Amino acid sequence: MRLELILRAQAVRHPQKIALICGEERISYADLDRRIARVASGLRRLGVREGDRVVLFLPNSTAIVELFFAVFSLGAIVVPVTTRLTPHELGYICQDSRPAAIVYENDGAALAGVLAANPQAARICVGTPAGDAIAFASLREEEAIPLPRLPAAADDAIIMYTSGTTGRPKGAIITHSNVVTQHCFINAVEWGISQADRFLVTTPLAHRTGFARLANALTLGGTLIIMTKFDPRQTVETIAREDVTVAGMVPTVCRMLLPEIAADPSRCASLRRIVVTGEAFPVELKRQLIALLPDVKLVSFFAMTEIGGVTSLSHEEQFTHASSVGRPTPGVEVRVVDEAGADVAAGEAGELLVRVGEPGRYSVMRGYYNRPEDTAKTIEDGWIRTGDMAKLDAEGYLTIVDRKKDMILSGGFNIYTKEVEQALVSHSGVADAAVVGMPDPIYGEAVVAFIEPMPGVVLHDAAILDHVRTLIAGYKKPKHIFMVDALPRNSLGKVLKRDLREQVDGMIAKRNEVKEKRPA
């Protein structure tokens, strides 16, 4: 059951219904299907074939939606990359995935090194192309040609890169079956969403959270409203203008929206459901949102790139079980185990394992792209080892007591401290570095870096930030930097991050005190 075939069926059933809205642009299902056929034909003429990878380094737009489904139509695999990543990060993903085509915006000047390192890839530009790049607009003008019928086994749809404790991103292979099972069937039943809904996506379509709302809308035959970038005022204006009924967001977006909603809650009168995932959803934030929009039903859920949705809290459970992430979705198996792999008693902490049938068939990824050893370490007998420490109570409610080792959740984005640390220590003046997270009132968590300079070297925060800015996305860079003579270590030389976390509040308070004492 493939995504492009589902969309094609919706185009036959509801040809004139609006499928996509982006600013002033409105595209019906029939027009969208025709555009997809032409773009797929253009990609075919460029040599894209079944199993090939196509990197989409694009912001939210109708173009990225067309490209997703055009690539699917060829049996090829989309590698979506958020434009918040740097060329350095994009370069690694291209090196790992070896794409047959790279699609980017503008003239590609900033990506010259990436494009030169991938001579096998066709260059497609959304905008005005330079050099030997092909204009995406020309693909839209291609004459549609008959495409080969794909074998049933051709199920890989997306490779989504997720970092880890090694700092080297791994590509999670998400299948068509994964997407359809999760976002068409399970979400529709669990949340009561349908083709009557108008879905607003406030997060990048290049992330699984944003793509999930796209999948909700276009598999069910609803309407997807795309924001090219998030802006609180424009979001509320869009909800009012487009009669949005379902909005997906992370808690950070919710925090930023509250003042705009509070100014005139009636502008959100069409909303009936808000779907929230990402970092922990603070109870007070929920209370404020529900007080402003009493007719809206709120659902929050715990999910991972490799697994999809695991648990959810219904509207009614938001306060009765506020400290938990909810109960497992029907069909999702969870275990909480000790170090020996034995199930722990209810209420005791252990590692969370998740299984949803055969990997790749339902909602769990098929595996990591070209990484059989990592796949084998992560998936054992169908069970995904999440690395999260959790508790499961007698009623089946799951509570996450400690996240994946060394991961920070900021603004709904996963930030792995090892990746930030590697960027920091690549500076010639840095002997070693350790990164931890701290609470942040807007983004949930912020990145804090402790740096041990090389002997005799004086480092300044601005120089460090200028250096890492070229290597990692802006949302990953440290908000606070502290220079230390030596990082705290145990007898084996391992950095004691718990000690650093305990020092953060005091060090920030001391820094602020010094600033206040400085003469104006």
Q: Does domain 1-17+29-154 have CATH number 3.40.50.980?
A: yes
| pTM score of the predicted model | 0.85
Picking from 330, 322, 276, 285, the residue whose alpha carbon sits closest to that of residue 303 is 276
User: pLDDT, tens digit, for every residue of 323-336?
Assistant: 889 999 999 999 99
User: pLDDT, tens digit, for every residue of 385-436?
Assistant: 998 888 999 999 998 876 656 678 888 888 878 788 888 988 989 988 999 9
- What are the C-alpha distances in Å from 411 to residues 1, 85, 99, 283, 386? 34, 15, 29, 17, 21
- Please give the structure tokens belonging to residue 399: 């509570």
DSSP 142-170: SPP-PPPPPPTT--EEEEEEE--TTS--E
| The CATH homologous superfamily of the domain defined by 407-517 | ANL, C-terminal domain (3.30.300.30)
Q: CB count, 10 Å around CB of 167?
A: 16
Residue type at position 203 = T
Q: CB count, 10 Å around CB of 507?
A: 15
In angstroms, the CA 324 to CA 160 distance is: 27
% of the chain at pLDDT higher than 90: 71
Tell me if 420 sits within 8 A of 474, measured CB to CB: no
User: pLDDT, tens digit, for every residue of 142-187?
Assistant: 899 999 899 988 999 999 998 655 567 899 999 999 999 999 999 9
Residue type at position 36 = I
What residues pair up with 415 in beta bridges, in sequence order?
Answer: 408
- Residue holding tokens 């008959």? 146
In angstroms, the CA 93 to CA 53 distance is: 11
User: pLDDT, tens digit, for every residue of 176-200?
Assistant: 999 999 999 999 999 999 999 999 9
Q: Is-same-fold flag (1-17+29-154; 407-517)?
A: no
Residues in the chain, total: 520
Q: What 8-state DSSP symbol labels residue 194?
A: -
User: pLDDT, tens digit, for every residue of 460-483?
Assistant: 999 999 999 999 999 999 999 999
User: pLDDT, tens digit, for every residue of 254-289?
Assistant: 888 999 999 999 999 999 999 998 666 778 888 899
In angstroms, the CA 293 to CA 272 distance is: 9
Name 5's Cβ contacts closer than 8 Å, sequence gap at least 6: none
Q: Domain-by-domain residue ranges, the chain?
A: 1-17+29-154, 407-517
State the maximum Cα–Cα separation within the chain, in Å, rounded to a whole number.
74
